[in-house]
Each structure stands twice: as C-alpha cells, then as structure tokens.
Amino acid sequence: MSQDPTTPIRLSGTNAYGEPKVRMAELVCGSPEDATATAPVFPNTKPTIELPAWVRKETEFFHGVPSETELLHGDAEKYHLPSSDKSHPIALPQLKSSRVWGIGYHVVDMQEALLFLEAWVRRRIPGYAITSNLNYSMLCRKESRLSKFTERAALVLCDGMPILWRSLVNTQKLPERVAGSDLIYRLAELCQTNGFRLYLYGAAPGIAEKAAEVLLSEYPKLQIAGVQCPPFRATSSAEIQASLQKIKAAKPDVLLVALGQPKGEYWIEDHYKELGVPISIQVGASFDFVAGKAKRAPVLFQKMGLEWLYRACHDPRRLLPRYTKNLLYLVRVIRRDLIDLLA
C-alpha cells in the first residue's frame, strides 16, 4: 500500500492537469447548414482507467469487483476502504473457504488476512483467529472440542505447506501459507499504523518481554498494552481471575497467546468473551522466534516444506516425537485421499 491516496487518478487521453488533450471546440465538425460536413467519429472503446494497486486490492476484497465508474464516480461511498473512514463500522467480506483434512481454511493471503483482522478489530466484537499447521490438523482429528472451536473461528489461516499443497486439488485453492511467525510482525505493523493496542500473553519466563522489546525496536510507535507470562504449574481460580483482570484493565485490541497447542486454543475459548478483546490469536512459538530463543529455518527450507526438519535438528529431544506423529498422520490422510480419488 505504498501508493499515496492523494495521487490523482488519470484517464488516458488527458494531460498532467486531468484535462482532455483534444477539446470539443477543436474538433472539425462543420456547421449545421453544411450537409456535406463529416461528423466526428468517437472511438467505441472506453478509456483506460489507471487505479492505484492498493485501491483495487482493498476494494475488491471487501466489496467484490466494482466497475471503474463505481469506483471513481457515483457509487464511491459504497466502496469506501477500511483505511479511508475510521468513524464508521466496516462490513466484513464473505470469505471463501477451502476444506483440507476436515478443516475449512479461509482463502486469503497475508495482506487479505490483515485487512480482515483490521476490520474485525474495528467491529469491537470479541472473536479469535487460528493459524493451523499439520500438528493442529492432527489434533483436530483427535479432539472434537478443538474441531468445534475451529469451526467457530473468525479466521482460519493455513500455516503449513502440506496443507497448502493439498488445497491445490480443491476448487478453491489457498493462495499462500500465512505463518504465525510472519504474522506477528505484520500484526505489530498493523497495530502501529492503526493505533491498536497489542498484548502478549504466554511463553517461558522473560520471552514475552523480550519479544515486546524487539517489536518496539522494529515499530517504535507500537502500543504494547501489556506482557504477561503465566506459571506453568496448575493455577488457582484466584490467580486466573487476577491474570484476566490485568488483561481487561489494559484494554488491548489484539491479544497474542503463546501457550502451545491445544492449550492456547482452549484458554482462548474459555476466556475470550469475558475479556472482550476484539481479536485473540494463538501464535505458538512465535514469541520464541521474535525474542531470538529459537531460530527460524532458512527461506528455502520454508518453501520446500522442510521447516519442521530444520527445527527438529536443532531441538530433537522435544520436537522429534511430535514431528514423527505428524509424519505418520500425513501418510494416513494422503492414503485416505488416494483411496477416495480411486474409488
């Protein structure tokens, strides 16, 4: 969205001031008395309208594909953009979905996900988004509570290359992987741009604080509403309520939760309505990546779907058992897909 919204939109056939290159008075038309005069011939094709890319992207996402006339003239108010009018509620777009291994993923790329989340925050109605990878897909197969929780989500994002590849055989294909480890930075940028307050909850002691420091160094005007690291032991009802009160008192707009799967999702399910935060998102190990405790795989590994292998090599004792289960699950669902295809 680097295009300046104040940049004039020009029609082809105009000069730098938006005036026609050829005025009507300059056309050779002859007088009414001159029966032999030749009438001017106008082209049948419409002039090309050059729209900034960000106008087209946001408008199509929220309202479908309007005509050039609707965008530039009479129906412009109908197609107002999220960034152009902050005083009015924004209608949410009807997102398409692509079902992969029992989960309906919304067909959005990173930018569209951020546009949707911005609109959702402005509605001020508590909701939650999910970043689903292969492990999450496996857990949904095992736990009906998690599966039902996922079906009620405001936004379900594809955070796994196997899921993305499997969607390619669907009618609705997922455009890209929207990884939680990338999303956290883009959310921080979104919060800074719009004045949203961000709250970090979870991870090991000191990790959320460090992650907040890194995000503030990247986005100096970002408002960190609070940081909290709950104990790993069982907590009493009084401790839980005290923790929730801290979040409510901070009044965040976006709550990032890093408690692991499915603990983080269940925590959100239990508390998101009471907290009243517009959007809550379980982001897994994203705090660790931002804080520098864990290192992300090189981009080549990510694109090849081998990020899990890179991470397993760096933390085999903790991650190897989990990824072994994931691989076995992947083999089973692919086998099931092949059987259904050949049946």
166 near 119, Cβ under 8 Å?
no
Entry field: residues in the chain: 343
> Which pLDDT belongs to residue 329?
95
Q: Which two tokens stand for residue 120?
A: 């959702």
pLDDT at 337: 93
- What is the CATH architecture of 97-291? 3-Layer(aba) Sandwich (3.40)
CB atoms < 10 A from the CB of 167, how many? 19
- pTM for the predicted model, two decimal places: 0.74
Inform me whether the pLDDT recorded for 82 exceeds 70: no
Q: Where are the alpha helices (DSSP H) in the chain?
A: 53-63, 68-72, 110-123, 134-142, 144-151, 161-167, 180-194, 207-218, 237-250, 263-275, 286-291, 299-303, 307-314, 316-342
Has residue 291 got a pLDDT over 50? yes
Report which of 50, 157, 148 is spatially closest to residue 97, judged by C-alpha positions.
157
141 pLDDT tier (thresholds 50, 70, 90)? very high
The predicted pLDDT at position 60 comes to 57
pLDDT computed for residue 69 by the predictor: 40
The pLDDT mean for the chain works out to 81
* CA atoms of 73 and 68, how far apart (whole Å): 8
Pairing mode of beta strands 197-202, 254-258: parallel
pLDDT in tens, 43-54: 454 444 444 444
pLDDT in tens, 299-338: 888 888 888 888 888 888 888 999 999 999 999 999 999 9
Maximum mean pLDDT: which of 26-30, 75-79, 263-267: 263-267
115 to each of 4, 132, 173, 194, how far by Cα in Å? 18, 19, 19, 12
Kindly state the tokens that stand for 201: 């909850």
